[in-house]
A and B are shown apart, each in its own frame.
Chain A
Amino acid sequence: MASSEEDGSAEDKENNKKKTKRPFVTAWLTIYNIAMTAGWMVLAVAMIRFYIQKGTHKGLYKSISRTLKFFQTFALLEIFHCAFGMVRTSVIVTGVQVCSRIFMVWFVTHSIKQIQNEESVVLFLVAWTVTEITRYSFYTFSLLNHLPYFIKWARYNLFIVLYPVGVAGELLTIYAALPYVRKSGMLSVRLPNKYNVSFDYYICLIIVMLSYIPLFPQLFFHMLRQRRKVLHGEVMVEKED
């Protein structure tokens, strides 16, 4: 789903505090965010090159899947950043977002090969790529205390389009995968067995799709509130001048 949240207005203060107290943490976070920005840019370039060369989206996922898996899985580190207090965000919020991405990449597109050429895959890949490049460069420039306005603008405005587009891509992909899961019975456990448990991956996917209904609006409106706080705060400063 979406990218992890940070309180934009308090970020500068936080970063200044971090700078004076924890130079190594800041250095690591800067390196991490630069690397992730670069990684997703590589992904974006690879996707554009493939489409220009081949003129179709078929085979696009396969060509970038390694890079995608690497950088998206690497994002698990962000959970630790929150847990160790290096970043001022809730562990649970970050955890849910990273895990939903990991789930999509490893348990849907990687495991169910037949849907890799669906258009919906390109839909969420594009949404994720633009989102992540914006987000990681936002964090990078914030840490370096030189945040160009257009990055801040992008971070707090592009999501209005990218969130719904990404969610649509993800849901359509899972929906397309359902018949293949049903047929293969993958990742499922049936009774009887000595652990007296059963698990139906097909039903699990349906539950995942349904969970978007309560979760997506919450995340979306959270970002909208952040946006109002950051942009509204700017307006206030102007008025004082």
Chain B
Amino acid sequence: MSRVTFFEVEILDPKTKEQLCFLDKVEPHATIGEIKCLFHKVYPQWYPSRQALKLDPKRKALKDDEILQNLPVGTTATLYFKDLGPQVGWTMVFLSEYAGPLFIYLLFYFRLPYIYHHKHAFTSSPYPAVTLACVCHSIHYIKRLIETIFVHRFSHGTMPLRNIVRNCLYYWGFAAWLAYYINHPLYTPPYYGNKQVNYALAMFVICQAGNFSIHLALNNLKSDGSKARKIPYPTKNPFTWLFFFVSCPNYTYEAGAWFSFTIMTQCVPVGLFTLIGFIQMTIWAKGKHYTYIREFKEYPDLRMPIIPFLL
């Protein structure tokens, strides 16, 4: 029978160096995640996803799957604890971010009282473009909700609570602002009339289908359960052929959808929302693109982050 050397783990507050917790008889192959559970038993208010444990107060937090004996520590390990604040799961974040705009837009479409002048309450717009815009906007967010529930697999479990407040303010605020103008009694329909609306609608539908196809394709990459990252490639679905030219075609299609919506409604606030979204997605796409390049030497040369050949 081999002798097992148990570890001792002390967890300190990085500022006061006070010992918050002392764990003895910890298995050498225990993970940080398991240590967090033990710490949670001592301090019930700090559930594991709220804890950051570090080897050094200034360095990065240790990952949950790191094993105690593989860390550069002696048999008595000293870890520093940081409270990450209240956490909320990614699914919860996305559901609230997307359910808000869906619901809020409808308040404006049906012209609920106190939004516009009381003589317009519960009236409807004579323009087909306005009804079409409502349908498109609603389908967009319903699609996102469906993807959140059934399609996406999230890598990190949680995010800080203040992020959900900030994100919701942004999505809900902008939805209210653009819905206000599109459904306004003094709304002016697009300059080129039905031709403009119909072409924009076609492009919108194509981009939505494209975005959904990419999400499915990315989801299938992770289907075998392995955590290792893989290069996404075009499949038989023509919408995924954008992978020949860009690393993040989901962002490309998303930007395209909002651009079409801007043309369809001819509304400056929509254009502003599209622009800000595009800037943010470009930043994300560039990050992802360079991560791919760093990880895979065989990464296709032709690909750009978000816009083929350009960006």
Question: Are A196 and B191 touching (Cβ within 8 A)?
Answer: no
- Once the chains are docked, how many angstroms separate the CA of A141 from the CA of B266? 54
Question: Are B188 and A192 touching (Cβ within 8 A)?
Answer: yes
Q: Which residues of the other chain, B, contact A195 by a CB distance below 8 angstroms? A: 266-268
Of all chain B residues, the one with the shortest Cβ separation from A194 is B188
- Once the chains are docked, how many angstroms separate the CA of A56 from the CA of B269? 46
Decide yes or no whether A191 CB sits under 8 A from chain B: yes
Q: Which residues of the other chain, B, contact A198 by a CB distance below 8 angstroms? A: 181
Decide yes or no whether A197 CB sits under 8 A from chain B: yes
User: What would 9 more interface pairs be, CB under 8 Å, given A193-B188, A196-B266, A196-B267?
Assistant: A191-B181, A191-B184, A194-B188, A195-B266, A196-B182, A196-B265, A196-B268, A197-B267, A197-B269
Decide yes or no whether B186 CB sits under 8 A from chain A: yes
- Can you name 23 A-B residue pairings with CB atoms under 8 Å? A191-B181, A191-B186, A191-B187, A192-B186, A192-B187, A193-B188, A194-B188, A195-B267, A195-B268, A196-B181, A196-B182, A196-B184, A196-B187, A196-B188, A196-B265, A196-B266, A196-B267, A196-B269, A197-B181, A197-B267, A197-B268, A197-B269, A198-B181
Interface SS, B side: loop
- Once the chains are docked, how many angstroms separate the CA of A198 from the CA of B182? 12
Chain B 185-223, CB-CB to A under 8 Å as 1, else 0, gives: 011100100000000000000000000000000000000
Chain A 181-198, CB-CB to B under 8 Å as 1, else 0, gives: 000000000011111111
Instruction: Give chain A interface residues in 157-205, CB to chain B under 8 Å.
Output: 191-198
The count of A-to-B residue pairs whose CB atoms sit within 8 angstroms is 29
Interface size of B by Cβ–Cβ distance < 8 Å?
12
Q: From residue B125, how far is it (CB to closest CB) to chain A in Å?
A: 12
Chain B 230-270, CB-CB to A under 8 Å as 1, else 0, gives: 00000000000000000000000000000000000111110
Q: Which residues of the other chain, A, contact B265 by a CB distance below 8 angstroms? A: 196
Q: Which residues of the other chain, A, contact B269 by a CB distance below 8 angstroms? A: 196-197
Instruction: Give chain B interface residues in 167-187, CB to chain A under 8 Å.
Output: 181-182, 184, 186-187
Q: Which residues of the other chain, A, contact B182 by a CB distance below 8 angstroms? A: 196
Q: Which residues of the other chain, B, contact A194 by a CB distance below 8 angstroms? A: 188, 191, 266
- Once the chains are docked, how many angstroms separate the CA of A191 from the CA of B184? 9
Q: Which residues of the other chain, B, contact A193 by a CB distance below 8 angstroms? A: 188
Q: From residue A83, how far is it (CB to closest CB) to chain B in Å?
A: 15
Q: Which residues of the other chain, B, contact A192 by a CB distance below 8 angstroms? A: 186-188
- Once the chains are docked, how many angstroms separate the CA of A196 from the CA of B191? 11
Closest 9 CB pairs of A and B: A197-B268, A192-B186, A196-B267, A191-B186, A195-B268, A196-B181, A192-B188, A194-B188, A196-B188
Q: From residue B301, how far is it (CB to closest CB) to chain A in Å?
A: 30
- Once the chains are docked, how many angstroms separate the CA of A193 from the CA of B191? 11
